[in-house]
A and B are shown apart, each in its own frame.
Chain A
Amino acid sequence: MIKKIFLIGNPNVGKSVIFSRLTGVRVIASNYPGTTIDITKGFLKIGANKIEVLDLPGTYSLDAQVKAEEAVISLLEDCSPKEAVVINIIDATNLERNLYLTLQLLEEGYPMIVCLNMCDDTKHRGITIDIKKLEEHLGVPVIPTCAVTGFGIKALIEKVEHAGRVAPKTLTHQERWVTIGKIVDDVQALSHRHHTLRELLEDISVRPLQGFFIAIGVIYASFRFVRFVAEGLIANVFDPLFLNLYQPLLEKLSVSLGQKGFWHHLLIGQLVNNQIDFKQSLGILTTAPYIEFAMVLPYIISFYFILGLLEDIGYLPRLAILLDNWLHRLGLHGYAIIPMLLGFGCNVPGILGTRMLESRRERFIAATLISIGVPCVPLQAMIFGLLGGYSGLYVASVYLVLFAVLLILGAILNKVMKGYSPELLIEIPPYRLPPVTLLAKKLYLRIKGFLLEAVPIVLLGVLVINLMMFFKIFDFATGIFSPIVSGLLGLPKEAAAALAIGFLRKEIAAGMLLPLGLSVKQLFIAVVLLALSFPCMATFVVLWKELGLRDFIRAIIIMLGISLAVGTLINLIIVS
């Protein structure tokens, strides 16, 4: 009886898409090596048999050279061969390199099926593969699939109980490559054809000068797109919904609550000019949903749409090679740009993504830089929300300050920390055009994740704030911090409460800052501090888990030092 299926293959061959197809469990898949950093589990039912399916991180070999490979090997060793089947997923457009791992797996004697994925892509690239002959060479079943469309998945499932195996043996590296050479010559035919536009684009994006201009263009267009779509959604969808449909209902509720008292304070909050003001009332039914749905959600939608598109096309690793030199100055290498970009959506996946970096030193630097200097989407929405009304110079300055902190802190950490950072060694994937359904699924998954995570905390946060304000607890607490907040940073002492509440989620703090009537200089300082200082609770926990207690405390001390220093500096420099 088969109890387990292992999905094993090179990085970026589509394991996660196959996994989703087999189990119905939706996971994030992208077109760059290392999207799956953890082992994902799901179940496949064949008749009455419920089989556990494990989606493993991609690996080029079974030599245990990097962390992901070690994880795969130890899992395989723990399992009895009678109960497990290995589905080795290989990229049909890159048969030669993929077969190296296949041979190693065969040598170990696992019951195996080879899944020849991305079969649709071979046609465009002029490749034909003789499946029958490949089966003969390998001695195990070979199933052609195209996971993104679902082609071949049924055949794959039918074969699970008929996996083949060959007698274990040990080849040397050289013998393996010789064998692969013979197999590839025999089963693969290449038809000559002209270079396509796609290949031309693939080519020039890894060249220094052309690549640089492409990168500038891509980043600029993405930024414009994110703002255009988000602002359009706010003006045409979310604001009308809140102002025209939701507000009249709330006004009735407000009147029926008598426009004051405990419940009115909690649910509706303060009335501004005898009316509800979604940005300032600060009630559980007013400001809390408005911040999440009308201020943050539009940016989440547009940001993750663009990120998903760039991920699936396969553009991101090209940024890694362009930025490698620069990131080395921060003690990282080019591939660190990927967790950093993820961090711009939400710091949590960004910090988890640092696992794709090899050394502990790199992971510490990257995670610390992300939590301090990379603003997440909700925070950025607040930067625009709070400062967008003034000259664009203020918004730009916030980014400039964060960017400067990132560079300086990275350079210092690189100098101070022991050890050195390993060099870049990555595969640059070919460009692929992702099907719209797959993009939509990924976007849905990320939006759902955001809503499930953010909405309860924001509601809770606003409740806590209102209770504390009602019972006048803040007055006592803020008094303690007033020397720092007022003396060094030049903010009113009430701002301390807002910054502290930012620990729950950054967007709640913005909701508290708005009604304080701060000057633009004070707002600027508060926003910079909000970005630099304590990350939100979720990031805090992940940072702790990923770094361990000692490094975590180090990161926090760095963070507090920088926040105070930068805040004080700005307060001294800008004369309002």
Chain B
Amino acid sequence: MKKMALVQMRERQKGKVVEVHAGTGLQNRLLSLGVYPGKEIIKLSQFALRGPVAIKVGRTVLALGHGMASKIIVELE
């Protein structure tokens, strides 16, 4: 099993969140949107030049900034 940050995943790859390296504020915001350790996600796309990342969590599509995405650690299946 390989661990990496969300920004390092390739498009269309599936993974499981293992850790959110952030303060409680951001952790809670992500949590209420359904992104928390143990949750499966699919990376949809990433924009060039440290642009935002789009992911699918359950039935929700989220867009998050590059900084946030680099704080989310996932485990590939």
Q: A residues within 8 Å of B by Cβ?
A: 60-61, 63, 65-66, 93-94, 96-97, 100-101, 173-174, 177, 202-203, 206-208, 211, 317, 320-322, 324-325, 333-334, 423-428, 430
- Identify which of residues 14-66 in chain B touch chain A, using a CB-to-CB cut-off of 8 Å: 25, 28-34, 36, 39, 44-52, 54, 57-66
Q: Is B5 an interface residue (CB 8 A)?
A: no
The 8 tightest CB contacts between A and B, nearest first, are: A423-B65, A61-B32, A60-B32, A428-B61, A321-B63, A325-B51, A206-B54, A94-B59
Q: Determine whether the beta carbon of B44 is less than 8 Å from that of A203.
A: yes
Do the beta carbons of A206 and B49 come within 8 Å of each other? no
Expressed in whole angstroms, the minimum distance between the Cβ of B66 and any Cβ of chain A is 8
Q: Which label, helix, strand, loop or mixed, suits the secondary structure of the A interface?
A: helix
Tell me, rounded to whole Å, the shortest Cβ–Cβ distance linking B42 to chain A: 11
- Besides A173-B31, A324-B65, A333-B65, 9 new A-B residue pairs in contact (Cβ under 8 A), listed by A number: A66-B29, A94-B60, A177-B36, A206-B61, A208-B51, A322-B47, A423-B65, A426-B62, A430-B61
B76 in contact (CB, < 8 A): no
Residue with the greatest number of chain A CB neighbours at <10 A, chosen from B25, B33, B63: B63
Closest B residue to A317 using CB positions: B63
Chain B residue at minimum C-beta to C-beta distance from A69: B32
A-B contact pairs, 5 of them (CB 8 A): A101-B32, A207-B54, A423-B65, A425-B65, A428-B62
- B contact face: mostly helix, strand, loop, or mixed: mixed
Roughly how many angstroms separate A61 CA and B44 CA in the complex, as a whole number? 25
| CB neighbours of A325 from chain B (8 A) | 47-52
**Can you name the residue of chain B whose Cβ is closest to the Cβ of A59?**
B32
- Assess the B44–A206 pair: CB atoms within 8 A: yes
- Residues of B within 8 Å of A207, CB to CB, are 11, 44-45, 54
Does B4 make an interface contact (CB < 8 A)? no
Minimum CB–CB distance from B61 to chain A (whole Å) comes to 4
Bound Cα distance from A216 to B72, whole angstroms? 32
On chain B, the residues within 8 Å of A334 by CB distance are: 52, 63
Query: Bound complex: CA of A96 vs CA of B32, how far in Å?
Result: 11
Q: A208–B47 Cα gap in the complex (Å)? A: 6
B57 nearest in chain A by CB position: A97
